[in-house]
Amino acid sequence: MKIAAARESSPLESRVALTPDSVKKFVALGIQVSIESGAGLGSGIADDAYTAAGATVAASAAEAFANADIVVCVDTPAEDVLAHIPQGSILIGMLNPLDKLTDFSALNARSIHAYAMEFLPRISRAQSMDVLSSQSNLAGYRAVIEAVAATSKTIPMMMTAAGTIPPAKVLVLGVGVAGLQAIATAKRLGAVVSAFDVRAATKEQAESLGAKFIEVPAADNAETSGGYAKEMDDDYKRRQEEALAAVIKTQDIVITTALIPGKPAPELITKAMVASMKAGSVIVDLAAAAGGNCKLTKRDDAIQTENGVVLLGYTNLSSRAASDASPLYARNLFTFISTLMFDKTTKTLKILSDDELIKGTLVTKGGKTVHPALVA
């Protein structure tokens, strides 16, 4: 069995799907590994490290992919790279299946069996393969770091002979995996942190990290059985807007992470709220890829509003922490492949097709898009 990876196609992507650590583990199982030269550089991994781990370093994507059973990636490869993936082989990565711009026709034209790791069911057994958690956690951390770099406000309180500097105020909207890490990071830096989420269970989690929770009671349970947020009704949205408007104008940094699976991101920060904020305050919108939690967010851009608010719409925050994001991601993929796609006795490819983790992630097969969430 052979696994391969190429350099990522997007210039905004610094992560890599194989690391020397994951290569060693694959090689120990008797799996051959090939990687395109330079693929690890964005994550601080030189070709030599891959060679030392037992991989073959190839001069091109085409050479790396030759005879591969499985190609692993971070984001879907560009078409000129996809063209080298062997017909009928397997592609595993973050394929962005719910984005309306995602088009699987190039994968289907090559009959590629593609697995979108974002669809992995979030059951206990799958935790060590959960790429959304491993990457969102780092995105939450990085969002705070980007905000701190963009503000001239000092974060911790400082008492000096020349006077006292008050601590920065940080508001986190959406208390999932990314939001919890954003709260923890901002607290560690000494900020006064507030947080808001529609799911009642998040109050205790936010408070346990030292954040003040902004409560907007919901008439019904705002959480699905899968632990995700539901879309809220207009009455709730009005009350939420009032509560946030009162708090937001006093904040130095706002980190927004609110998402509803398969839907556009809820709009939590209106133009009027941005207009009420102080000059120099910073909003980092982690939901930018899903349309943004702030009305004014520009995807993958940093803008300054007329009243001097800096708005960061980076969609590659985990990639900005690539040296740590890649090892976690590569470990998630190793666990997925070694437990669900490999027969340790015969040392050959064997897919556990009936396993709910395989069924849950398979998006294309035999030239067709097959995932129930993607076929009408």
* Residue whose CB is nearest to ligand NAD in the complex, by number: 176
Report how far residue 214's alpha carbon sits from residue 234's, in angstroms, rounded to the nearest whole number. Answer: 19
State yes or no: residue 55 binds ligand NAD (CB under 6 A).
no
State yes or no: residue 221 binds ligand NAD (CB under 6 A).
no
Measured from the CB atom, the residue of 2 and 320 that comes closer to ligand NAD is 320
State yes or no: residue 258 binds ligand NAD (CB under 6 A).
yes
Identified binder of ligand NAD from the candidate list 166, 227, 262, 264, rule CB under 6 A: 227
Measured from the CB atom, the residue of 88 and 227 that comes closer to ligand NAD is 227
The partner residues of 92 in beta bridges, in order of sequence, read: 72, 115
State yes or no: residue 34 binds ligand NAD (CB under 6 A).
no
CA distances, 310 to each of 12, 247, 273, 285 (Å): 20, 18, 13, 11
3 state SS for the chain: CEEEECCCCCCCCCCCCCCHHHHHHHHHCCCEEEEECCCCHHHCCCHHHHHHHCCEEECCHHHHHCCCCEEEEEECCCHHHHCCCCCCCEEEEECCCCCCCCCCHHHHHCCCEEEEHHHCCCCHHHHHHCHHHHHHHHHHHHHHHHHHHHCCCCCCCEEECCEEECCCEEEEECCCHHHHHHHHHHHHCCCEEEEECCCCCHHHHHHHCCCEECCCCCCCCCECCCCCECCCCHHHHHHHHHHHHHHHCCCCEEEECCCCCCCCCCCCECHHHHHHCCCCCEEEECCHHHCCCECCCCCCCEEECCCCCEEECCCCCCHHHHHHHHHHHHHHHHHHHHHHCEECCCCEECCCCCCHHHHHHEEEECCEECCCCCCC
Rounded least distance, CB 256 to ligand NAD, Å: 8
Measured from the CB atom, the residue of 124 and 345 that comes closer to ligand NAD is 124
Rounded least distance, CB 43 to ligand NAD, Å: 23
State yes or no: residue 261 binds ligand NAD (CB under 6 A).
yes
Active site residues per annotation: 122, 127, 130, 133, 228
State yes or no: residue 130 binds ligand NAD (CB under 6 A).
yes
Measured from the CB atom, the residue of 81 and 132 that comes closer to ligand NAD is 132
Measured from the CB atom, the residue of 23 and 182 that comes closer to ligand NAD is 182
State yes or no: residue 360 binds ligand NAD (CB under 6 A).
no
Measured from the CB atom, the residue of 34 and 361 that comes closer to ligand NAD is 361
Q: Contact, 37 vs 4, CB < 8 A?
A: no
Candidates 62-70, 87-95, 222-230, 360-368 — which segment interacts with ligand NAD by CB under 6 A?
222-230
Q: Which of residues 58-117 bind ligand NAD (CB under 6 A)?
A: none
Rounded least distance, CB 206 to ligand NAD, Å: 10
Number of residues that bind ligand NAD (CB under 6 A): 29
Report how far residue 92's alpha carbon sits from residue 361's, in angstroms, rounded to the nearest whole number. Answer: 9
State yes or no: residue 259 binds ligand NAD (CB under 6 A).
yes
Rounded least distance, CB 233 to ligand NAD, Å: 11
Q: Which of residues 156-215 bind ligand NAD (CB under 6 A)?
A: 173-179, 196-199, 202
Candidates 51-59, 128-136, 141-149, 341-349 — which segment interacts with ligand NAD by CB under 6 A?
128-136
Report how far residue 237's alpha carbon sits from residue 231's, in angstroms, rounded to the nearest whole number. Answer: 10
State yes or no: residue 228 binds ligand NAD (CB under 6 A).
yes
Candidates 11-19, 50-58, 101-109, 228-236 — which segment interacts with ligand NAD by CB under 6 A?
228-236
Rounded least distance, CB 140 to ligand NAD, Å: 9
- Short-list 123, 101, 76, CA closest to 359: 123
Measured from the CB atom, the residue of 167 and 266 that comes closer to ligand NAD is 266
Q: Where along the sequence are the contacts to ligand NAD (CB under 6 A)?
A: 122, 127, 130, 132-133, 136, 173-179, 196-199, 202, 227-229, 232, 257-261, 266, 268
